[in-house]
Structure 1
């Protein structure tokens, strides 16, 4: 879907911005696949798939650097203003969060390299359920970015609350289990860190939703309550 870019800028500038936006979506697709593979590696105890996630992280890092360099060139060469500048800034911030989501997927994949007994595997099921919610958030925010859809972005923003509650519930459950069986602490801590990674992925998706709102509405909604965003920005 073509962005409604300012008419005063050159046609070549439009092409450059569109190419960068497409590259962001490619990077997002790669990160989404990383997270999918990481979750599948854990639930299926697939160490080979887990290693594949670890090995492909460099591709995400490489794309971040390439897109960042392209944005820097545009700022230097085109000196964009108004919404054009907001788009470039939103892209720079978005790729930073996408790269960090890739890092979190890498941490989750490492859990698949461990072995868990039958009772401990129940925690992996809880983790997978939370992971699928985080995956939906990531998919939805990338879709919102592709269409620069503020309403969809705001839905992702509100979905983070659900993920936070699930994180707290699973963490309490895991802490109780460790107190009852201290021998389980090393393994369960791996799961706790992975659940924490999922909570952070939700935060990153929420950040990206704020960048979309910033681009479309010209309002910085960081540290703004959801009710204020809904009433005063949307």
Structure 2
């Protein structure tokens, strides 16, 4: 595992930073489960599993609060610098993205439960399965990259968001065409479209987590850069 150079020698401080990192990865694991389970609930029309996704929201919110308190306490008590400060700031921002991913998974669960009540959608399963598999893999690989401080992996994941965006636009056109051909399906297909929209947003939030990891390791803000520029910046920026 790659390690950042730090400016302190306190073992207690090291322990606090490691606890913060572990809480972040734990929260990421819960959110990853939410996304996977929300997709499975939709594909299987499983209302019980959808409810489980919604129930996990309280765990995500609890971890979000714990991490926020830890970041605030470390900043006030330790006044960290350099790599330590970047770790705290990076995790603080990345946690917000994880919380939003969890919110989108909860939306998918809610829409799934509505579809179960109103009747399954005649279209959209293939598209949701395909895009859902993409974003689930993105989340998994992003958390793995964070655990290993692997910015090459983070850049690779961030680039995959463009594929998700293209797949989303293609699926959207297909479903809109279907609704025009069969107006009776409009309500149900709209639910599917909103699920696809949540998946597309999950891809966006995952890309943002990758960008925060690049900031952590390299100390450069890449949030508003194109992927080509990010590649160039990362290659030229010293460790």
Check the 8 A contact 1:43/1:125 in 2, yes or no: no
* 1:180-200 Cα deviation digits (max 9, x unpaired): 122211111111111010001
Q: Return the alpha-carbon distance in structure 1 between the equivalents of residues 123 and 186 of structure 2.
A: 15
Q: What displacement does 1:125 show?
A: 2.4
Residue in 1 aligned with 2:44?
A: 44
Structure 1 residues 48 and 204: alpha-carbon distance in aligned structure 2, compared to 1, 3 A threshold? same
Distance in 2 (CA, whole Å) between partners of 1:218 and 1:52 is 38
Give the secondary-structure state (helix, strand or coil) at the position aligned to 1:111: helix
Mapped pair 1:99 → 2:95: no
Normalised by the size of structure 1, how large is the TM-score? 0.95
Q: CA RMSD in A?
A: 1.5
2:31·2:60 contact (CA, 8 Å) conserved in 1? yes
CA deviations on 1:95-133 (whole Å, 9 max, x unpaired) are 100011000001111232113767x44412211211010
Alpha-carbon shift at residue 9 of structure 1 (Å): 4.0
Unpaired runs of 5+ residues, structure 1, are none
Count how many residue pairs are aligned between Structure 1 and Structure 2: 233
Change (3 A) 1:218 1:227: same
**Aligned residues of 2:123 and 2:175 also touching (Cα < 8 A):** no
* 1:202 alignment counterpart: 203
1:5–1:14 Cα contact (<8 Å) kept: no
Deviation at 1:2, TM superposition (A): 7.2
In structure 1, distance between residues paired with 2:152 and 2:13: 27
Residue correspondence of structure 1 range 81-120 to structure 2 within 5 A: 81-113=81-113, 114-115=115-116, 120=121
TM-score by length of 2: 0.93
Worse-superposed segment, 27-36 or 181-190: 181-190
Structure 1 distance, partners of 2:37, 2:73, is: 34
1:83 Cα deviation after fit: 1.3
Whether the 8 Å contact between 2:2 and 2:149 is mirrored in structure 1 is no
2:172 alignment counterpart: 171
Deviation at 1:4, TM superposition (A): 3.2
1:223 maps onto 2:224 in alignment: yes
Per-residue deviation, residues 25-77 of structure 1 (Å, max 9, x unmatched) = 00000001111110110111111111111112111011001101110000000
Distance 1:55 1:231 in 2: 43
Counterpart Cα distance in 2 of 1:18 and 1:5:
14
Q: Map of 1:127-146 to 2, 5 A cutoff? A: 127-146=128-147
Distance 1:194 1:9 in 2: 48
Kindly report structure 1 stretches of 4+ aligned residues shifted beyond 6 Å: none
